[in-house]
A and B are shown apart, each in its own frame.
Chain A
C-alpha cells in the first residue's frame, strides 16, 4: 500500500511538504488504479457522453437519462472480480450492494439488476463450479432480500478465467427528475455517515483490486448485510422526499478517504471530519483503518442545520445507525481529526486527482497469424454436433441461475430473463429494455471487432423487444495495464466503442475500468462488457406462442466468421480464425427495419442470432415453443459456406423473425423496400428440428431431446457436482 517514487515526488511538490503516514495512506487509497483510473482516464475522454436525454451533474456516480414526463432512469455498472475470486459469496453480494448505492446516490430508487458472470471450465474444474455456485447464491441472497429484481445478464465460461472470477453487476434506477440530488454544499453544512458501522473488513480493498491476485487476501473482502442495505435505501429515499439531502455519495472503494476527497473536490468545498465520531463495530481502530475501511452499506450525506433533525428522525425510525462526523468548510481542504487533534490535512483537489499516466502500448504478438488457421473437418454427424452445442454451458439455458433470483419483485418485469433483452414498465406508461453483453473469445481474437460485436449484440437484444437504444455503459476488464500489449487491447477497445457509439448516436452514460485481472496462468482475455438501455414509447414486443405453419425469416448475411466461435472452441478445441466483423451501416439499417416491422405488429417473435449461430438460434425457438421446424440451408443469405459454417457461424447483425403466413408478404416487402438482406428460410411444424439442403437432411434432432440437453445441462453440472 504505497505510492510510486514519482507519485511521492508529485505529492510532496503539490502539498509543499512530506505527507505524514496517515496522509500517505489516504492518498494511496485514492490514487490506486481502482479509484483514480490513472491508467485509463486519458483514453476514456474520447467516449461520446452527450445526448439529448443525458442529464449530467457534479459528482454523479451513475448515468442519468431523461425518459420524459418528468421521469429519469439512472444506470451504473461495476465489478467485484478480485473479492469474488477469493470469497465468491461475499464478493458477489457486496458487488451488488455497491452498484445499488451508486444508483441511490443520484436520488433514484434501484429497480433492476443485471449481472455478467465469468468462470473457468465449469465442466471439468471443481473450483470453477464452487465459485459459480457461490457467486450466484451471493447475488441471489443480496438482491432478493433488497427486493430489487435481477432481470437479466449473461454467463461465460473460458479456461482463461481458471481460479478467477469476473462478477459484473449493472443496476438501473428510476425516479422523478425533480428529486435528483443537486449536489451542492455550503459552509457550515453537516456531514453525516449513515448505515452500517465501520469495521476492519475490506481494509485496502481498492489497492487489493489494483494489483495481481497473489495471495488469498480475505480480510480485503467486505462482509455483506443486505438487511441494513435495504433499510439504508428506505432511509435515503425518505430523506430525499423530505428534502434533507443537499449532496450525497456512497462509500465504496477507498472508503472514507475516497468519499470525502471526491465529494469535497466535486463540490469545490472543504470538509472537516472527526474520526472519533464515526460509529464503529470494532474497538481501537486506528485513523488509517477508519479512513480506508471498505465496510459496506454506508452513505455519506450532506445536510444543513434546518434539516439535520429530520434526517436523524428518519434514521431513528428505521433504526439505522448514523453519526454526524463533520462540517463543510469554506476552504478546499479535507481535514481529518481525532478528537481535537488534526491527524491529516490535505487539499482535496490533490487527493481526488491522481497524476495520470501515459502507459506504453504495442499490438500483442499473439495476434499475428491468429486469424490464419487450418479449417477443422466438418463432423460426420451434424445432428450430434447440434445436441452437443446445446449442452455447451455457454449456450445451455441459464434457468438454474435466474430462477434463484427474484426477477418479478417490483412488478415491473414485462419481458423476463431468458429472453433476448429484458423489459421493465415505467410509471409514465413507457417501457425500458436492458441487456448486457460480453464475449471474451471474440475480443481475444480481435479486441476491436470483438467489442463492437458485443455492442451490436446488446443493441440487437434490446431491439428484439421493440426498443430504441438510448444509452450505454461499458465495463472494461483487462489484465495488467503495465504490460504494453494488454494496454493496447484496452486502448483499441475504447476506440472501437467510441466509433460504434458515435455512429449509432448512443451516448456513453457510465462505465468502469477493472485492470490487473490476472490468474496464475496469465492475464484474462480482454473482456469488455457493454450494457445498453432502450426505450419503448408504446408497447413492447412480447413473444407470442409459435404455432404450426408460422414462418421463419432470416435477416443479415451469414459469413465465414468462426474465429472465437463456440463451435470452434467447444467442438474442435480450436482458438483462432477470423472473428465476426460488424458492418455498421448495414447493421443500423437492419435494426431500424426490425423496429419498423415490430411497430407495425407484423411479427410474433424476434430473436437475435449470436452464440452458436443460426442452428442454435433456431433450436432455441423450437425448444421454448415446443415445436419442430424445417429450415432450408440453401435459402439462408450467406457467403459460400460449408454446412457446419452455415449452421454455427456467429456473424453479427442477424435476426430471426417469426411471422404468421398471412403477414409474410407485407413483412417481406417492407424489408425489401428498406434494402435489408433477408429471406424466408423455413417453417415451424412437427416434432423435429430439421435443417436441409435442397431436400436432403443435414441435421435432424427431436425437439424433446434438444429440450433435455439445453434445459438441464448447466443445472446438472452444479446440482450433482
Chain B
C-alpha cells in the first residue's frame, strides 16, 4: 500500500505529511515532484500544504496547471482516495476537482491557531473511522482559507452530502462554516486544517486521537489494519 505525496515548487508541508504517513502510521509514502509521472503502484494521493509558486496570482492556481495534475485527475476519476490539505485543497479547487473557491480570511491576516472541526460526512476514505458530529481538535494556518461557493453550489454540496467538515466556531467567514468538502463521489477530499500537524500528542495541545482517525480511516480504506 503506497501513498504519493505530490511536491510542487513552494510546497512546505510535504515532509511533515511524509513523516506522519510513514513514521506514525507506517504507510509507505513517496514524495513525487510535480513534473514527474505518478508511480504506477500507488493507492492514494495527498496534495500537501504550503505556498506553491509563492501564492502568486492566486493560491494554488499555477500548481493546478502542473503536469502531474493530469494524472491526479485520471486517478480521481478511477475513484482513488485523494486528499488535499490547505494549499493542496486550494489546488484541488483551482484544478476543478472540487467546487467553490478559497478567499482571503475575513481578518485579512494569516491565521495560525488551534480550533475544532466537526465531522459532517463519515463515509469518505478519510473519515470512515470517525463518528458523525465528532469534534476534532486541529491546527489551522492559512491566509486564504475562507471557503466560498454560490448558493446553488452550496445547495448541491448539502444535497450530495459533500460537506465533510465544518468549524465548531467562527474562524474565517467560510460559507456554512465549511472547513472541508469532497467531490460528488466522495473519494476526493479537500480541507483547510492540517491533520498532519494534529495527529501526534506531543505537538497537539489538546487531544490528538480524533485527528489521527483521519489517517486511520485511510488505512481502513486501503485495507490495512491499524
Contacts from A to B (Cβ < 8 Å): 140-141, 144-147, 225-227, 230-231, 317-319, 402-414, 416, 425
Contacts and interface: CB of A to CB of B under 8 A. Distances in A.
Closest CB pairs A-B (n = 8): A147-B12, A227-B54, A145-B51, A406-B141, A411-B16, A406-B112, A404-B110, A408-B197
Interface string B109-146: 11111000000000000000000000000010101000
Contacts of B113: 403
Contact of B9 (A231, A405, A408): A231
Contacts of B55: 145
Nearest to B49: A409
Given A145-B51, A230-B12, A404-B110, A414 B202 contact: yes
B203 A145 contact: no
27 contacts: A141-B110, A144-B110, A145-B12, A145-B55, A146-B12, A147-B50, A226-B51, A226-B54, A227-B10, A227-B51, A227-B56, A230-B9, A402-B112, A404-B112, A407-B112, A408-B112, A408-B141, A408-B197, A409-B12, A409-B141, A411-B16, A411-B20, A411-B196, A411-B203, A413-B203, A414-B202, A414-B203
A226 to B, nearest CB: 6
Q: Which of B9, B139, B205 has the most chain A CB within a 10 Å cutoff?
A: B9
Contacts of B139: 408
B148 interface: no
Contacts of A147: 12-13, 50-51
Nearest to A109: B15
B61 to A, nearest CB: 14
B203 A140 contact: no
A408 B194 contact: yes
Contacts of B194: 408
Contacts of B50: 147
Contacts of B49: 409
Contact of B10 (A230, A407, A408, A411): A230
Given A411-B19, A425-B202, A425-B203, A318 B112 contact: no
A138 to B, nearest CB: 12
Given A227-B10, A227-B53, A411-B196, A404 B203 contact: no
B107 to A, nearest CB: 8
Contacts of B141: 144, 406, 408-409
Interface in B174-208: 194, 196-197, 200, 202-203, 205
B33 interface: yes
Question: Interface range on chain B: under 10, 10 to 19, 20 to 34, or 35 or more?
Answer: 20 to 34
B85 to A, nearest CB: 12
A29 B57 CA distance: 37
Contacts of B20: 411
B222 to A, nearest CB: 23
Given A147-B12, A226-B54, A405-B110, 17 more contacts: A145-B10, A145-B12, A227-B9, A227-B10, A227-B51, A227-B53, A403-B113, A404-B109, A405-B112, A406-B110, A409-B49, A409-B141, A409-B197, A411-B197, A412-B203, A413-B203, A425-B203
Q: Which of B113, B202, B205 has the most chain A CB within a 10 Å cutoff?
A: B202
A228 to B, nearest CB: 8
A402 B111 CA distance: 9
A230 B51 contact: yes
B110 A140 contact: yes
Nearest to B197: A408
B188 to A, nearest CB: 24
Nearest to B50: A147
Interface in B139-182: 139, 141, 143
A145 B16 CA distance: 15
Nearest to A425: B202
Nearest to A143: B110
Interface in B1-49: 9-10, 12-13, 16, 19-20, 33, 49
Given A317-B33, A318-B9, A416 B110 contact: no
B13 A409 contact: yes
Contacts of A145: 10, 12, 51, 54-55
A410 B16 contact: yes
A407 B16 CA distance: 14
Contacts of A416: 205
Contacts of A425: 202-203
B30 to A, nearest CB: 16
Contacts of B9: 227, 230-231, 318-319
A118 to B, nearest CB: 21
B221 to A, nearest CB: 23
Nearest to A144: B110
B111 A144 contact: no
B36 to A, nearest CB: 10
B51 A408 contact: no
B105 to A, nearest CB: 11
A318 B8 CA distance: 10
Nearest to B53: A227
A409 B16 contact: yes
Contacts of B197: 408-409, 411
Contacts of B205: 416
Contacts of A319: 9
Interface string B51-69: 1011110000000000000
A404 B194 CA distance: 16
A225 B10 CA distance: 12
Contacts of B196: 411
Nearest to B7: A234
B72 to A, nearest CB: 20
A412 B141 CA distance: 15
B12 A403 contact: no
A403 B54 contact: no
Q: Which of A317, A405, A410 has the most chain B CB within a 10 Å cutoff?
A: A410
A418 to B, nearest CB: 11
Contacts of A403: 109, 111-113
Nearest to B194: A408
A392 to B, nearest CB: 23
B96 to A, nearest CB: 24
Contacts of A404: 109-112
Contacts of A412: 203
Contacts of B203: 408, 411-414, 425
